[in-house]
Structures are given as C-alpha cells and as structure tokens.
Amino acid sequence: MKNHHLKTIMLSVLMCAAASAAGCSGGTNDTGAIRLGYLQSDLHHLPAFVALEKGFFEDEGLLVTVSGIFRAGPEQMSAFAAGELDVGYVGLAPAATAALNGVADITILAQVNKEGSALVCRPDITSLAQLRGKTVAIPGHATMQDCLIQKGLRNAGLTPKMLGLMVLKPPEMLPAMEANDIDCFIAWEPYPTQAVTMGTGTVVARSGALWKEHPCCVLIAQDRFTRIRPDETVKIIKAHQRACRFITDHPEEALSIAVRYTGMPRAIIKQAMEHMRYVPAIDRQKARDFVEFLADLHYLSPARTQKQLKFFQ
C-alpha cells in the first residue's frame, strides 16, 4: 500500500476515535479534500479499497481522505446527516431509508455490488423453516441484511415475531455464536465465510437465494457536494468504475488488497470473493423494487415514494 495513503487512513482513524461512533466531526465541505466513508472489513467495499490503494482517485486529480470507518450502514448515514462525509460506500437500504425519510440529503452515484451476504446458523439448523423460536442477529434495522432476512422469512411463511431478531455489529456476531448467545446471523462477506471456515456455523442461505440479483451496496454523495463540485463527482464515479474493472481483470492483486483492508486470512477472503459481483452500473428498477419493500416493512413514511430517490445524471 502506498505510504501516503496509509498515513492518511491512520490519521483519519485516529481522528474518528476521538469523535462519536457515528463518524468524525465536520461540516459542509465545499472545497478541499473529499471525505470518504465505508464499512469496517466489508468485502462489498473492495472497490473503495482498490481505488485508494492503486491511486485511482489521485489519477483523476482528486484528494480523497478516509474520514469514517463504520460498523454498520445506519451509523454511516448519521455521519452523512451531520455533514461529516462527502461520499461513501454503504448499503442501498440504509441509504434509501435515510434519504427518503428526510434524514440525509444524498444522491446515488453508482452501484457497488450485487448479492454478497449470507445467513449463517449453527450446524443443526439447515433451513429457514427451522428459524421459528431462534435468535438471529442482524447488523441493524433497515440494513440490507435486515431486508434480506425478512424477505427470506416471508418466503418461508414466517414473520419476525416468530423468532428473535437482535442487532449486533458483524465483528461481534461470530463471538456471539461461539458463546451460544445467538443461533444465526446474517452479514456481509467475509464474515459468513469466516464462520464456516472456523467450523462455527454453516450457510443456510446466500443472499441470492433470499432475493435473486438484489442490488446491495451503492456509492453515494451529499447532494450539496454533487451540486457544488459536479466535475469532481464525475471523476469519483470514473475512479470507482475503474476499480470495479480492476477487480475483474486483476483478481489476485485485488485479493491481496482485500486481505490488507479486512485483516482476514487470504484463504477466507479468496473463498468469500467467489460470492461477490462488483457491478458499477445501477439497475434503477431493482433499486425501486427495493424501496417498495422498505415501504412495505414500514421503514419509510407512506408519503415517501421511490421518485424521491436521487440518482446522479
């Protein structure tokens, strides 16, 4: 990793440690460095890691600093609401919920990936039908994983009231399962693969089985940023698209980058990446379908519609 990138990330993390869990302190940012956020050890956000590592933002003439590393999407959206980030990699569900409920003014710039999460349970649980009366951990309410498990429950003829849904951040899920505090968890990769590799759990359903071809994470920006700095917004998208192509064209180097940013063993990351697809072009119809599901779950006000979800250009 380039030394100046490493120093920037380390400085940003130290600054965040002194701030609230929602992110670093800050405000509106009309000029200067572009403040980027992403989720901790989230393999979905590999394009961000690649763009930072390979200097793709710099190649576009941009100065990008990592200003927040979050444990779940709702935390990151709180940082956007406070004006502490300019751009970020985050799940479509928390981004849409915050935007359509008027919590944060953001625009979707691009898609990041499709699918890539999994429901992991104790070895004796082998189907969704067996979740009745069980405790299942999700990263947060109105997260992608929350929506996916609720979609799966409906398909199995179950409701959330028939089991116990509890919120745990993905780094806490595996220890909780090892301690028998939970029966299952649903999380983004590489946490499911890590649990399987360690023999703690088995994959009951991958996200593609719960919701085929579902959009997952997206690249977003503050509305104000896209208005004040449109040319730089376009360059951010170009760097992101280049990073997605790099992952496909140079899988071994992308794997090495993923190992460095997640801190997990290479064998686990390599296996986890087999379940990932990085697609920068967003399918707006699928995004609208997801918004309708969020409304059906009552995460959105009935007055809010998918027309209010903003896309760049």
* CATH (domain of 185): 3.40.190.10
158 and 29: one domain?
Answer: no
| pLDDT recorded at residue 230 | 97
Do 53 and 40 share a structural domain?
A: yes
* Domain match, 84 and 170 both: no
CB 213 within 8 A of CB 299: no
Cis check: omega of the bond before 190, within 30 degrees of 0: yes
Q: What is the mean pLDDT of residues 173-201?
A: 96
Residue 164's domain spans which residues?
117-210
Same domain, 255 and 294: yes
**What domain count does the chain have?**
2
Is the confidence at residue 70, as pLDDT, over 80?
yes
Q: What is the mean pLDDT of residues 283-300?
A: 90
Q: Which residue has the higher pLDDT, 84 or 30?
A: 84
Q: Which of 160, 179, 210 is the last residue of a domain?
A: 210
Q: Which of the two residues, 167 and 20, has the higher pLDDT score?
A: 167
Q: Please state the rounded mean pLDDT for residues 270-292.
A: 93
Residue of higher predicted confidence among 303 and 89: 89
Rg (CA), the chain: 18
Mean pLDDT value across the chain: 90
Q: Would you state the pLDDT for residue 184?
A: 98
Structural domain contains residue 247: yes
165-175: average pLDDT: 95
pTM value surpassing 0.75: yes
Do both 99 and 236 map to the same domain?
yes
> 252 and 234 in one domain?
yes
CA distances from 251 to 3, 17, 106 (A): 23, 33, 31
Residue 11 has pLDDT above 80, yes or no: no
Mean pLDDT along residues 185-213: 95
Mean of the pLDDT values across residues 198-220? 95
What is the C-alpha end-to-end distance of the chain, expressed in Å? 33
- What is the mean pLDDT of the segment spanning 17-38? 63
Domain shared by 161 and 292, yes or no: no
pLDDT in tens, 90-134: 999 999 999 999 999 999 999 999 999 999 999 999 999 999 999
Considering the chain, what percentage of its residues have pLDDT values greater than 70?
Answer: 89
| Mean per-residue pLDDT, 221-250 | 98
Res 309: pLDDT: 86
Looking at residue 28, what is its pLDDT?
62
Copy the structure tokens of residue 130. 């067996």
Domain assignment present for residue 35? The answer is yes
Q: What is the pLDDT of residue 308?
A: 74
Residue 183 lies in a domain: yes
**Residue 20 pLDDT greater than 90, yes or no:** no
Residue 313 lies in a domain: no
pLDDT-derived band at 30, boundaries 50, 70, 90: confident
Compute the Cα dihedral for 92, 93, 95, 96 and give only its sign.
Answer: positive
Tens-digit pLDDT profile for residues 36-65: 999 999 999 999 999 999 999 999 999 999
More confident residue, 124 or 5: 124
CB atoms within 10 A of CB 32: 9
What are the CA-CA distances from residue 153 to residues 32, 179, 186, 209 (Å)? 46, 25, 13, 12
- In this model, does residue 21 exceed pLDDT 80? no
Judgement on whether residues 87 and 228 belong to the same structural domain of the protein: yes
| pLDDT for 304 | 57
Residue that wins the pLDDT comparison between 124 and 29: 124
Domain boundary, last residue among 210, 231, 250: 210
Q: Which of 187, 210, 233 is the last residue of a domain?
A: 210
pLDDT value, residue 27: 59
Residue 217 sits at the vertex; the CA angle it makes with 214 and 223, to the nearest 5 degrees, is: 125
Same domain, yes or no: 9 and 104: yes
What pLDDT sits at residue 192? 97
